[in-house]
Amino acid sequence: MKTIRYIVLMALVFLPLAKTMAQHFPVQATFYSKPPYPIFLSDYANPVGQNLTLKVLLRDLNLGPTQIYFRFRISSNRMTVGNPSFRVNMPIFTLTPGIVQTFTQADFGKYFEWMNLGMNPFSYALPLPEGIYTFSVEIMDALTNKPLSKSEQLPPVWLIVNDPPLLVQPQNESIQKIQNPQNLVFQWTPRHRQANTVEYEFVLTELLVPDNFNGNLQNLFLSQPPYYRTTTLNSSFLYGPTLPPLIAGRTYGFRVRAVAKKGFEEIGIFRNDGYSEVGIFHYGEKNRAPVILSARWGNDAKPLITWKGIERHAQFEVFYKRTTDAQEASFPYFSLSNPYLQKVGENTYAGKINAVSDVKSSYTFRVSGITGVTGEASLFSGLVTLPPIDWSKITIYGITRDNEDYLGLLAGKSRKDNPNPLVATCQNPRVNPTDTKTNAIVLGDTLHAGGTDVVVVSDEYVKALIKTPSGGTTDVKLYYSADFKINQYNELISGYLTGEVTNHRIKLLSSGNAVGEEDITNQQLISLGVRTDSLKVLANQFHDQSKQQLSYTTAYRYISVISTSLPILLNLLKAKHVLLQESIQVLNGELAKNLPNQQRTQLQTMRTKLTAQSNETQRNMDRLGTYIQNFGGRKFPNEVQGLLLPQLFL
C-alpha cells in the first residue's frame, strides 16, 4: 500500500517534468525583472527603463547566427496584451550560438509600443488596473515565425497603483494666522508603498478671487500659474521668511504631487498622476463685514456700541444717524472714523458716540471694516437701531419698572452694584421719612422722593431733575400713583412716582382754574392771563434756558462769543425777574383779601418761594452784569473761562 502511494506521488512529481523535457528548444531565455513596476505600458517601452532584462543563449551550436524576434505577453485575470505572432515593426536581433546575450529595454523597448501590442493609443495611455500580472516572453525565429524557446515567465508581480498623498496641514478652507515673518508649515501624509524614493512636487498658487466668483476655487487654481513650486523629499514643508511673500488677505491653493523616482526616470505608478487634492487656505481672514454685537445707552447718556471685526481690520468707521432721518441708501451719515476705540475682547471693540446728546431719539448705527489690502472694499455691518431711552419704564420710589436701569446709569451708579443708587440733587434728601403728617401739594413744590427731588409741574406729573455724571441735568416726567401723599417736609410717604402714564390726577392747592375743591378761583390771576402753575413753570423755564445758554456758551472756544450771548442771558434773567415780581404783586393782592387760614398759609408759602427765587435771580443778574462789565468783549481761552464762569451762579 505504501509503495503504491509512493509511486503515485513520484509520478505526480515527475510527470510534468517529463512532459517539458520532451519538447526541446534550441534557445534558452532567462527573464529578469526589477521593481518598482510601472503601471503605464509606455514605461516598458522606455529605452532607459531598467525593469526588464532578458538573457538569451542559443544552445544549438550546430546552428549558425540566427535572426530572432521576441513575443512579449502581459496577462492578468482581466486582460492579456502581447505582441502578435508575426513581426510587424519590431527590431530583429541576431543570436550567436554559445554566447549569452543580454537584452535590455534599450533593445526591446519598441516591442512595448502600442502598435506592437495591438492596442489603440488611448487604452494604451490608461494605467494598468491594480492586480497580479504575469510577464512572459517567447523567442521567435524571424524566418519561420516559429518559437525557438519555451514561454519564459516571470514570477507574478503585483502592479500597484499608489494613492496620491493626503493633505494634512493646513486644513482645507482654513484661515491661517498671519505671522510676521511668515512661517507656515505644510504637511501631508504619503499613501504609497513600494516606491521608496518618492519626491514631492509642491505647488503653491496665488488665487485672486473676484468678489463675484461663486464657483469652485479649483477652477482658479487650474487657471493660474504657480506662485511657488519646489521639490522635496520630506512630507513636510516650511514656507518660511526666505520664500516669496504671502500677501495678507489673499487666498492660496496648494497641491502636492508624488513622483516616484528610479534613477533619473519618473515612473507613473500613482492614481491621478500622483496629484493630491487641491487644498485651499486663506492667509489671514477674508475681509468680512463687522458685526454689531450690541448698541445701548452708556451711563453718561451717550450711545455705546460694541462690534466684532476680524484680526486684519486696520480701521473701522462708525456711521450713525437718527432713525427717522433720510433713507439709508443716500448715505447722509455722519462718519466718525475714530471713535474712542476700546478693545473689549478678541477683535471686539466698543465705541462711544459723544456727538449724540438727545436720548429721546432713536439712532441707527452701522460699522464698516477696512483691511487696507488691495482689492478689498470696506464692508458694512448690518444696521442696528438703538431705541430712545424709554422714560415710561422708569419709576421712582417703590420702583416698579426700570428694566434698562436707565436711572441708575444716568445717575452714574448702576443699581446692580448699588441698591440705592439715585443721587438726589436736593441738599438733604430723606429717603425714609419719619414724619407722617400729610401736607398739601402745591405747584412748584420740590418733593423728596426716593432720594431724588422732583418738581411738581402739573397735577398729572412731576419733573425730576437727574444729575448725570457728565455734570448736566436731564429732566424726567414722572406720573403720580394712586394714593400719592407727602408729609410736612415734602417727603413722599405714600404711593410712588412712575414713568408710566397713570392717568391719576392729584389735588393741587391753588392750581388756577384746575378742577378741585381747594382751587383758588382768582379772577385777578386769570385776568392777568397767567395761571399760577404756568407762571412758575415759565419762571423755571427761563431759569433752565439761561443755564442752558451758558452751557452752550462754554462749548465755544473763546469767551468773545459771550459778549453776544451773555447779554441775551441777562435779558432772560431780567424777564424772569419781572415775571416773578409781577407774580409776587398778584399774590400780595390776594393776601390782602380776607382768606381762609389754610389758603392764606399756602399763598404765603408760595410768596416766600417766589421771593426767594426773585432774590436769587436778582443776585445772578448783578453778578452777570459785573461779569459783562469786566470781561465782556475780551478774548479768554477756555481755561480762564472755565475758572470764571462757574462763579456766576453759585
Partner 1 sequence: MNKLCTFSVISFWLVSGFGSFGQTIDLGALQGRDNKVKVSGGLSGNVVYNHSQAANIPPISLFLSGNLNVSYRNFNLPLSINYSNRKFTYSQPFSFNFVTFRPSYQWISAEIGTCFMSFSPYSLSGHQFQGVGLTLTPNRWSVSAMYGRLFKATDGNSELQQLPTYRRMGMGVKTVYKSDHFTLGLSLFNAADKPNSLAHLSEPLRPQPKENMVVGLEFSTMIFRKLEVSAAYHSSSLNADTNQPDSSGIARQKSISGWLINKSSLGQSYNSYRFGINYNLSKSNGIIGIEYQKVDPDYITLGGYYFVNDFENLTLKYSQSLWSGKVNLSGSLGLQQDDIARQKSSGQRRVVGMANLMFSPSQRLNAGLTFSNFTSYSFVRTAFDEIRRLNPFEQLDTLNYRQINQNISAFVNYTLSQTETRVQTINVNVSQMQSVAKQGDVVRVGQQSGFINSDITYNYQLPQKAQSIGVGVNTSFNSIGTQNSFSVGPLFHVQKGFLQSKLTTNTALSYIYSKDATLETSAGAFNLRESAQYNWDKKNSLSANLGFTQVSGSTLAGRTYVSATVGYINRF
Cβ proximity to partner 1, 312 vs 577, nearer residue = 312
Cβ proximity to partner 1, 227 vs 484, nearer residue = 227
Distance, in Å, from the CA atom of 488 to the CA atom of 482, rounded to the nearest integer, reads 19
Stretch that binds partner 1, among 68-76, 102-110, 374-382, 587-595 (CB under 8 A): 374-382
Owner of C-alpha cell 389758603? 599
Cβ proximity to partner 1, 123 vs 604, nearer residue = 123
N residues, the chain: 650
644 binds partner 1 (CB under 8 A): no
Cβ proximity to partner 1, 100 vs 126, nearer residue = 126
Stretch that binds partner 1, among 121-129, 523-531, 610-618, 621-629 (CB under 8 A): 121-129
Minimum separation from the CB atom of position 258 to partner 1 (A): 14
Cβ proximity to partner 1, 100 vs 314, nearer residue = 314
376 binds partner 1 (CB under 8 A): yes
Owner of C-alpha cell 521639490? 231
Subset of 308-367 contacting partner 1 (CB under 8 A): 314-315, 331, 337-338, 340-346
Pick from 378, 534, 549, 581 the residue near partner 1 by CB under 8 A. Answer: 378
CB 482 within 8 A of CB 502: yes
Question: 401: which 3 cell numbers?
Answer: 419698572
Subset of 250-289 contacting partner 1 (CB under 8 A): 272, 275, 277-278
Minimum separation from the CB atom of position 376 to partner 1 (A): 7
Question: 524: which 3 cell numbers?
Answer: 385777578
Distance, in Å, from the CA atom of 173 to the CA atom of 175, rounded to the nearest integer, reads 7
CB atoms near residue 204 (< 10 Å): 22
Minimum separation from the CB atom of position 45 to partner 1 (A): 14
Pick from 97, 147, 226, 567 the residue near partner 1 by CB under 8 A. Answer: 226
Stretch that binds partner 1, among 241-249, 382-390, 503-511, 519-527 (CB under 8 A): 241-249
Stretch that binds partner 1, among 114-122, 429-437, 442-450, 589-597 (CB under 8 A): 114-122
CB 123 within 8 A of CB 141: no
Count the alpha carbons within 13 Å of 605 in the hemisphere toward its beta carbon: 19
CB 472 within 8 A of CB 460: no
Q: Which residues pair with 600 in a beta bridge?
A: none
Distance, in Å, from the CA atom of 390 to the CA atom of 470, rounded to the nearest integer, reads 20
CB 573 within 8 A of CB 580: no
122 binds partner 1 (CB under 8 A): yes
Stretch that binds partner 1, among 60-68, 244-252, 296-304, 470-478 (CB under 8 A): 244-252
Cβ proximity to partner 1, 63 vs 238, nearer residue = 238
Distance, in Å, from the CA atom of 606 to the CA atom of 532, rounded to the nearest integer, reads 10
Distance, in Å, from the CA atom of 201 to the CA atom of 258, rounded to the nearest integer, reads 6
Distance, in Å, from the CA atom of 70 to the CA atom of 506, rounded to the nearest integer, reads 123
Subset of 151-210 contacting partner 1 (CB under 8 A): 156-158, 160-163, 166, 168-169, 179-183, 185, 187, 189-194, 208, 210
Stretch that binds partner 1, among 150-158, 503-511, 610-618, 625-633 (CB under 8 A): 150-158
Cβ proximity to partner 1, 157 vs 526, nearer residue = 157
Subset of 54-93 contacting partner 1 (CB under 8 A): none
Minimum separation from the CB atom of position 581 to partner 1 (A): 49
What is the residue-wise DSSP string for 615-636?
HHHHHHHHHHHHHHHHHTT---
CB 116 within 8 A of CB 83: yes
Cβ proximity to partner 1, 157 vs 399, nearer residue = 157
Minimum separation from the CB atom of position 108 to partner 1 (A): 23
Distance, in Å, from the CA atom of 479 to the CA atom of 226, rounded to the nearest integer, reads 75
Minimum separation from the CB atom of position 128 to partner 1 (A): 13
Distance, in Å, from the CA atom of 265 to the CA atom of 455, rounded to the nearest integer, reads 99
Cβ proximity to partner 1, 65 vs 181, nearer residue = 181
CB 235 within 8 A of CB 189: yes
Minimum separation from the CB atom of position 629 to partner 1 (A): 40
Total binding residues toward partner 1, as defined by CB under 8 A? 90
Distance, in Å, from the CA atom of 613 to the CA atom of 473, rounded to the nearest integer, reads 19
Question: 313: which 3 cell numbers?
Answer: 481690520
Minimum separation from the CB atom of position 419 to partner 1 (A): 23
Local structure of residue 285 (DSSP, 8 states): P
